[in-house]
Amino acid sequence: MEALQAGPRVCFLVDEPGPQVIWEVGCGTTQIYESVMCFGKAQFVENIAERRRVLELMISKYLPEGKHLPILDTNLENTTVVRIRIEWMTDKANRISSVHRKVSNRFLSA
C-alpha cells in the first residue's frame, strides 16, 4: 500500500500455464503457456458503494449460481480496493504444436 501511495504506476502479469512437453530443442523439454503483462495506473476506490459493488462481483465469481454472500459494513470499511486502469499490455505465448509431445506426469524420469 505504501508503494501505491508513493506512486500510481503498476504492472501485473496474468498467465495460463499449460503442460510440460518434450521436444527436440535445447534441454529437451519446455513449458506451454500464454501470458499478458499489463501496465497502468492504480487508484484507491474510496466510494463505499463502489467498493461494495466491486467486491460483490469478485466474490460472486466463486459462489454457486444464485448464492449471495453479504459483505458486512465493518469488513467493507477495513478492505482496500484498488482499481487499475490499463494503459498498455504485451503478450507472450509458447503454444503446443505438432513438434511437442505431452509429458504424462509433472517431472520427467530418466
Q: What are 3-55's pLDDT values in tens digits?
A: 999 999 999 999 999 988 888 777 788 889 999 999 999 999 999 999 999 99
pLDDT classification of 79: cutoffs 50, 70, 90:
very high
| pLDDT over threshold 50, residue 108 | no
Cα gap 52→70, rounded to integer Å:
10
- Looking at residue 68, the DSSP 8-state letter turns out to be -
Q: What is the pTM of this model?
A: 0.69
Q: How far is CA 90 from CA 2, 12, 14, 37, 41, in A?
A: 27, 11, 11, 5, 16
Quick one: cell of 35?
501470458
